Structure 1
Amino acid sequence: MQPAVVAASRNFVCIRLLTYENKSEYDFMEGLLGVSPGTLPNTVFCILAPDGKTQLVRAGRGPRHGFSGARSMADGLRRIALRYPARTGQARPLPLVRPVDLALNVAASDNRPLIVTVASDPRQLAVLQQQVQQLAWNPRFIGQFIYSSTQRQAALKPLAGAEPDAAILIVEPGAFGITGKVVAQLTLPTSPATMATAFTAALDAFVPSRKDHNRHIEMGYQLGIEWTTVVPESDRQSVRAKARFKARFQSRR
């Protein structure tokens, strides 16, 4: 991503779509694109006004239909932002991916460590999230972690090394995003300084895995690993490509 685009995007609420992992979002995206039910592609881009309805940049598969390039996009974002000045004093929310198993899969796909906040009491969980939120938007940590939260200890089952009294877990995702290894965990009470030290140490120690796309998929088939989405994938081109790849793999067995 171009730095000018990233800088301009700071004036927007940027939403990472779950696409096939959330039915209500799936339906909303179909409405934006104006496609037939059950045909949503696997990428969608749109810029909406604060009313959540008015399309300022028409919905499509990506930003290329609205902008000729990175410079055009950065300029366009700045112009749009001037039309909708932000309210002052509003805290940016923690960008959560839930449930934990989905966040683990996203972390593996993005090659980023995962931070999970854990508390059975919803009020305590909200306090934890607020503490992490204050660090998440620090320039040192922006875009460096995937975040999730849970009230259920059972949700931590894929995370090797998770202690029952841990309130904040820092996790290194496995290659296929179905398991993870806890590399640091904090119990309560904790402090922003302690959290920042732990986040920095985990980030400095994290080594993104190198993956060959085709080899990675083939290894997943060999191990019997295949992710099932909440909503069946409906991007026809992607579905056909996966079917061809799987058929080639099975023909060599």
Structure 2
Amino acid sequence: MFSQKEFIEASRAFVCVRLESYENEKHQKMVRSFLNGRFENTAFCLLSPDGESRLSGTGRSPSQGLRRGRGAGQRGVIEAMEHVAAGFRARASKQGAVVQDFHSFRQALNVASGDQRLLLFVVAPGGEREELRLRLRPLMSDTEIVGRFHVDFAEEHPDARWREAVKGEAGRAGFFVIRANAFGQTGTVVEEVPLTSGLGELESVLLKANASFARTEKRKVYSDHVAKGRRAGIYFENEMAYGEERDADGVIDHRRGRDAGPAGGERRRPPAGRRGAPRGERRPGAPPSRRPGGRD
């Protein structure tokens, strides 16, 4: 749904926030607040401009959060979003939208690979970054650019060794257009533009690079991609514990199996049984189970 043109157009009336649930504890707590204490890799909710009051229900997806069953389809979700948006008047133009920034370059490269977009990586002295963020706002909000790139600003501590992950010339500072490899572990600098360049020049470079990228990037088939990654031993180390937590006990669920990480840490155990007890385990005080036609 998120990649559909109609949904994207409806989302323009909102400030869209993508929580970094495996990189930030505060964000993960917010996901839990939307899922009654559980933690899973997706959650959805519409919030008022204060960022706190809920304008919809919550759930794993827009259709769940907006209480639109499968029968309503995408059109029902879009109509619900448009109805909510109609109750608010924008106080600023879309051209003033805040420019994206990740927690680290390695995360930005990984997400760019997963979303199959080019990454615009901005490397500048600390004193110049805020001015660059403001200067890039109209460009990254332009209809020809928005949604086609990810953007990240280099920080001293987490990104000190970013050049080790990329091929191609990479100067000390500049706008670097980077193409991530299939698994987001490394990348290649395809274009480099000086920080002093005008927005028109940067836009031209971005559009040219994206046109080439679109012609040569093969769409990933999720199941095949995951299988190849497992065979190659690919693993991305998150800042937060990897996996989901479906019984709301505050601890990530683990199990042995095909989703295991390199050290045997797994994503989650099977879904909980009745009242949150794992299947096959009795709740304290519960009567012993009986096998059909037999005794305890």
Give the helix-richer structure, 1 or 2.
1
Q: 1:134 Cα shift?
A: 1.8
Q: 2:217 aligns with which of 180, 190, 208?
A: 208
Preserved CA contact (<8 Å) 2:118 2:178 = yes
Q: 1:70 Cα shift?
A: 1.8
Bigger Cα displacement from structure 2, 215-224 vs 187-196: 215-224
Over 3 Å counting, the alpha-carbon distance change for 1:181 and 1:25 in structure 2 is same
The C-alpha deviation readout for 1:110-129, integer Å capped at 9, x for no partner, is: 111110011122x3112222
Provide the C-alpha distance between the structure 1 equivalents of 2:125 and 2:173, rounded to a whole number of angstroms. Answer: 11
Preserved CA contact (<8 Å) 2:170 2:189 = no
Given residue 192 of structure 2, which amino acid in structure 1 is its aligned partner?
A: Q
Q: 1:158 aligns with which of 137, 160, 165?
A: 165
Question: In the alignment, what sits opposite 2:139?
Answer: 135
Preserved CA contact (<8 Å) 1:156 1:162 = no
Question: Larger C-alpha radius of gyration, 1 or 2?
Answer: 2
Over aligned residue pairs, what C-alpha RMSD do you find? 2.5
Question: In the alignment, what sits opposite 1:120?
Answer: 125
Q: Number of matched residues?
A: 244
Could you tell me the TM-score, scaled by structure 2's length?
Answer: 0.75
Q: 2:114 aligns with which of 104, 109, 113?
A: 109
Question: In the alignment, what sits opposite 1:251?
Answer: none
The C-alpha deviation readout for 1:63-83, integer Å capped at 9, x for no partner, is: 122233222222222221121
Provide the C-alpha distance between the structure 1 equivalents of 2:219 and 2:147, rounded to a whole number of angstroms. Answer: 19
Given residue 82 of structure 2, which amino acid in structure 1 is its aligned partner?
A: R
Q: List aligned pairs for 1:1-253, cutoff 5 A.
A: 1-35=3-37, 39-65=38-64, 66=66, 67=68, 68-89=72-93, 91-121=96-126, 123-152=127-156, 153-206=160-213, 207-235=216-244, 243-244=257-258
Percent identity, please.
26
Secondary structure of the corresponding residue to residue 177 of structure 2: strand
Could you tell me the TM-score, scaled by structure 1's length?
Answer: 0.86
Provide the C-alpha distance between the structure 1 equivalents of 2:18 and 2:135, rounded to a whole number of angstroms. Answer: 22
Give the strand-richer structure, 1 or 2.
1
User: Greater relative contact order: 1 or 2 (C-alpha under 8 angstroms, separation 6 or more)?
Assistant: 1
Secondary structure of the corresponding residue to residue 121 of structure 2: strand
Q: 1:108 Cα shift?
A: 0.5
